[in-house]
Chains A and B, each alone.
Chain A
Amino acid sequence: MKKLIIRRLLIGLLIMVVASLLSFTVLYVAPGNPAESILRERTGADPSYQDISLFMSNNNLDGNLFSKIAQWLVMAFRFDFGESLYTGEPVMAEFIRRLWATLQLTLISMGISTPLAIIIGVAAAAKKNKIFDHVSRILSLIGLSIPDFWLGLFLMIIFSRTLKWLPAFGYGSAANYIMPIITLCVAQIASLTRIVRATMLEKLSEDYIVTARGNGLKKKMILMKFAFRNSLGPIVTYLGASFGHLLAGAVVVETVFSWPGVGAFLVDAVYSRDYPVIQGFVMIIALFYVVINLVTDILYVYIDPRIRFEKG
C-alpha cells in the first residue's frame, strides 16, 4: 500500500507538471495576447503598438516560447506563480482565497446530494418499474436536462425578486449558500441517482443474488449487504470524478451567483490570457485531481477486498 501511494504521488507530480505545461503551451500558441486584451478592457480603446510593447516589457512577457517555459519551470518548482497580469495580486494568495469559496460549495452540495441520490437510486432499483421508480427517473431526467444558468436565474427570480427571501448575490452569510447549493445539487442528485439505480439493477440480476434469494435471505439484506455493497465501486469512482469536476467546473453557478470561486476566475484568466493565473490554477487543480483519484483508489481496497494493488 505504501509503495502504491508513493508511486501514484510521483506519477501525480508528473501529471501536474504536464497539465500545467500543456495548458500554458496551448494558450501561448493560440491566437491572442494578454497585453492587448488587458489594455483594451482597461482603456476601452484599441491599444497602440507602443502601448502593447511597453506592457509586455513591464510585465516580463517578451521572449520566445522556450524561454517562457524555462521561466515557468523555475516558478513551478518554487511553487510561486508570480502575480496576475490582470489584478496584480499574487496568484497563490488569490487561489487559496478562491479555493475556499469553491470548496465550501463543492463539499456542502456533495454532502447533501450523495446520501439523497443513493437513497433514491437504491429505492428506485428495489421498486423497479413501480410508480416510485418512474417518478424518480422522470425527475432525474428533468434535473439533468435543466441547464445550471437557467435553474440559477429561475431560483433567483422566485426567491430574490418575487419573494425577497434570499440574496441574489454575495458571499459569506448562510443565506448566500442556499441557491448556489440547490442549483449544484439538482444536477448532481439527478446524475448520481441514475448511476446508483443502473448499477444496483445490474448487481441485482447477478447469480449470487438469485442464490441469496433462493436461500431465503431477507430482501433488505440482499439489497444492502449484497447488491449495494457491490455497487459502491462505480459510485465512488463517479463521486471522485465529480468532486474534481465541481471544483473547477462550477463556473456557471459561480458566475450567476457572483460567487468568488476558482472556476469563474480561471475562465476570465483564459479570456485575458493571464498566463500566471492559468499556470498556477491548472497546476493546483491538477493536484486535486491526482489526490482525489488516489483516495478513490485506496477506498476501493476497503470497498472491495478482492482488489489488491501490491502486485500492480
Chain B
Amino acid sequence: MKKRLPLILAATIGAVSLAGCSGGGGTGSETTTASGGSGTTTAASQTASGDKILRIAGGFDFKSCAEARYLVFDSLLQSDMWGQITPNLAESYDVSDDGLTYTFHLKKGVKYHDGTPFNADTAKFSLEYYQKNNSPGEDIESITAVDENTVEMKLKKYNDLILYDIATPTNWGGVPMILEKDVDSEGKITGYIGTGAFIFDDSTYESGVKATMKKNPDYWGGAPKVDGVEWDVVSDPNAMVVALESDQVDAIGIAEHHSSVPYVQVSSLKSKGYNVETDETGRYQVLEYNCTKAPFDDKNVRMAFNLAVDKELMVDTLFEGLTEAANVITSPDFKYGPKKVDKDYYKYDKDKAEKLLDDAGWKDSDGDGVREKDGKKLEVKLIVPNGEANADAVAVYVQSELAKIGATVDVQNLESSAASDASKKGEYDMYVHHSGCMPGVPGGINPGGKYHSSSSWTYSFHSDELDKMIESAFAESNEDSRQQQVAAIWQYLHEEAPCMPLYSVKKLSGMNPRLSGYHVGQNMFDMSMIKDMDMDTSK
C-alpha cells in the first residue's frame, strides 16, 4: 500500500486537472443563475448591523487615485460635464470689473470630518497650497481672508480658466479644501480630512487592497443615502466583471476616469440584468498628425485622410454601436466647443478624399496600389501608445481604410512613456490620442493647449494666426465676444484638419440592479454621485 501512495496521489492530481480542462469547453455557453449560488461568498453589502455599504471595484489603490478625492474632499466651485460653473462650498462669488479679483463668499456652518470649522482661513490655506504646487498658480498675486466667510483672490493677469481648477477637488490640477494637517513634511497631501460626503477611515486602509469610508451624517449637501463605501482594488478589467457577477462588488468602472469595463462585456452584462451606464464625457479618440513634415504638412492630405475613414461603420462593427462616431475635433456640447461647425464636417467621403490626394499631387503612377509624389510613396507611421483604450483595433481599422485610398500605414505599438517621448521628438506621422475633457478647456484651443504653439505637442498644427486668435479669445472677459472668437477659432481649425477625430470615448460603469440613483458626474473623474445613490439590500 505504501508503495502505491505516490501513484494514487499522481492519479488524483491528474484527474483533477483533467476535470478542470474538460470544463473549459462549456464556459462559453454557460449562464449564471442567481439560484445556483449556495456558495460561501456572501453579499457583503448586507452587513450584520444592516448597514448599507456600497462596494466599488477600484482599478488602482485608493490613495493614488484622483477619482477617490471626489468622495472625501469638496471644492469651492463646481463645473458640469460641459464647463458651466456653479457654486459649491462658495455660495457665490464676485468678479471685479477688471476680472483680476475674485471674491468667494463661503457657506457657513460647514465642518471638516474632524470637527474643524470650514472658514476663510482653511480656504486660504487650500488656495495657497494650489498656488505653490500647480503651474497656473503663478498667475495668482495674493490670497486674503477678508473676514470669517470671505476669501479674496487677486490675479496678476486675466485668467478666468483658473476657475476650472477651483472647481476640481483633486490636488493635481485642482483645489480641494484641505487642512494644514493633511499636508506632510514633504508638502504632499497624505491626510484625508475633508468636508466631503464620506469620511475616510485610515485604520482600515490597506495599500493596494482596500479602503473604507463611512457616510458623513452632517454633510452640508445632505447626508449620503448609503452608510458607507468600500473601495476594493481589482486590477484586472475581466476580474472586475467576474467580481460584479459573483456579487463581491456592487459597481465597477465608476472609479476610473478611463473606461475600464471592456466594451465587449456590455451586452452580456446587460442581458444578465446588470445596469450598464454609458456616460458621454465629451472626450474623443483622435489621431494626431505631425503637421511639420510631409505628407501631413499639406492640409489637403490631412483633410483627405479625415474623409477617407468611415467612422460610422467603425463604431458599428468594432463597438456594436455603443458610442458615436466623431466628425468634429471635440464635442460641440462643451462651453467652448465647436458649436457652429457642421456636425458632419469630416463625414466619410471616399471620392472627395481621393480627389484631394490627386490634387495634392499624390498619384499612383506605377499601379502598385500605393500613391506616390516626387518618387516618395505615401507611407506613414502610426504610433499606438500602450494602454490607450481600444487603440489596437482602431489602428488596424484605420490602416485598412487608408489602404483603400492608396496610403500605407505602418502601425507601431509603443510602451506609453516611449510613445509620448516619440511625440515630443516628432518621431511620428500619426499618433492615437484623445481630445481633452473637463476640467480644463477641451480640444486644445486654450493658451498652452495642443493647438497653441507653447504646447508640449510641438509637432501638432500651429500658426501665428491661430496663436493670436487663441490668446485674444481667452483674454476677452466679455462672454459673448469670447464665444464669437472661439467660433472663429474652431472654423479655422476645422479647415486645417489638425487631427482625425474618430469616436466619442464613453465612460462605462456596471452596477448591480440593487443600486439606484446613479447620475452623471461633473467630469469623467467625478464619483461624488455616490452620495446620491441608494441600495435596496433586499434584492
Contacts and interface: CB of A to CB of B under 8 A. Distances in A.
Interface in B437-470: 437, 440, 448, 450, 454-457
A169 B231 CA distance: 12
B10 A31 contact: no
A58 B135 contact: no
Most buried by A among B23, B41, B525: B41
Contact of B9 (A49, A89, A116, A156): A116
B50 to A, nearest CB: 22
Contacts of B146: none
B436 A37 contact: no
B422 A94 contact: no
Contacts of A86: 64
Contact of A273 (B32, B387, B417): B417
A61 to B, nearest CB: 14
A44 B257 contact: yes
A291 B11 CA distance: 36
B401 interface: no
A170 B209 contact: yes
A48 B232 contact: no
Interface in A124-182: 132, 135-136, 139, 142-143, 153-158, 160-172, 175
Given A39-B172, A45-B436, A165-B40, A119 B9 contact: yes
Most buried by B among A36, A45, A143, A166: A45
A311 interface: no
A294 interface: no
Contacts of B209: 170-172, 258, 260
Nearest to A54: B135
Contacts of B95: none
Contacts of B416: 32, 37, 271
B264 to A, nearest CB: 14
Nearest to A82: B186
Given A86-B64, A255-B236, A48 B455 contact: yes
A161 B17 contact: no
B421 interface: yes
A290 interface: no
Contacts of B36: 162-164
A32 B420 contact: yes
A45 B457 CA distance: 12
Interface string A250-289: 0000011110100011000001110000000000000000
Nearest to A124: B10
A142 B448 CA distance: 55
A186 interface: yes
A33 B421 contact: yes
Contacts of B20: 154-155, 158
Contacts of B40: 164-166, 175
Contacts of A122: 6
B207 interface: yes
Given A47-B456, A49-B454, A139 B17 contact: yes
A83 interface: yes
Interface residues of B, number: 79
A205 interface: no
A104 interface: no
A168 B242 contact: yes
Contact of A160 (B41, B134, B437): B41
Interface string A168-204: 1111100100000000001001000000000000000
A143 B245 CA distance: 28
Given A48-B456, A120-B13, A158-B27, A260 B207 contact: yes
B39 interface: yes
Contacts of B440: 43, 45
Contacts of A162: 30, 32, 36
B32 A48 contact: no
Interface string A197-237: 00000000000000000000000100000000000000000
A158 to B, nearest CB: 6
A119 to B, nearest CB: 4
A63 to B, nearest CB: 18
B134 A54 contact: yes
B292 interface: no
B133 interface: yes
A304 interface: no
B421 A158 contact: no
A62 interface: no
A26 interface: no
B315 interface: no
B234 A123 contact: no
Nearest to B7: A123
B456 A46 contact: yes
A135 B13 CA distance: 11
Interface in A13-49: 30-33, 36-37, 39-40, 42-49
A163 B17 contact: no
A99 interface: no
Nearest to B247: A164
Contacts of B275: none
B238 A31 contact: no
A161 B437 CA distance: 36
A52 interface: yes
Contact of A257 (B190, B239, B454): B239
Contacts of B456: 46-49, 52
A68 interface: no
A97 interface: yes
Nearest to A257: B239
B63 interface: yes
A47 B424 CA distance: 12
A114 B17 CA distance: 17
Interface string B243-261: 1011110000000011000
Q: Which 10 residue pairs across A and B have the least CB separation, nearest first?
A: A32-B417, A31-B421, A164-B39, A50-B135, A260-B208, A164-B37, A42-B172, A119-B6, A160-B246, A31-B418
Interface of B: 3, 6-7, 9-11, 13-14, 17-18, 20-21, 23-24, 27, 30, 32, 36-41, 57, 61, 63-64, 66, 133-135, 138, 170, 172-173, 184, 186-188, 190, 206-210, 232-236, 238-239, 242-243, 245-248, 257-258, 387, 415-418, 420-422, 436-437, 440, 448, 450, 454-457, 524-525
28 contacts: A32-B418, A43-B440, A44-B524, A52-B456, A86-B64, A88-B188, A116-B13, A119-B10, A120-B13, A139-B13, A142-B17, A156-B242, A160-B242, A161-B32, A161-B246, A162-B30, A164-B37, A164-B41, A166-B41, A167-B248, A169-B248, A170-B210, A171-B206, A256-B238, A260-B206, A271-B415, A271-B417, A272-B417
Given A119-B10, A161-B242, A165-B39, 4 more contacts: A163-B37, A164-B39, A171-B206, A258-B234
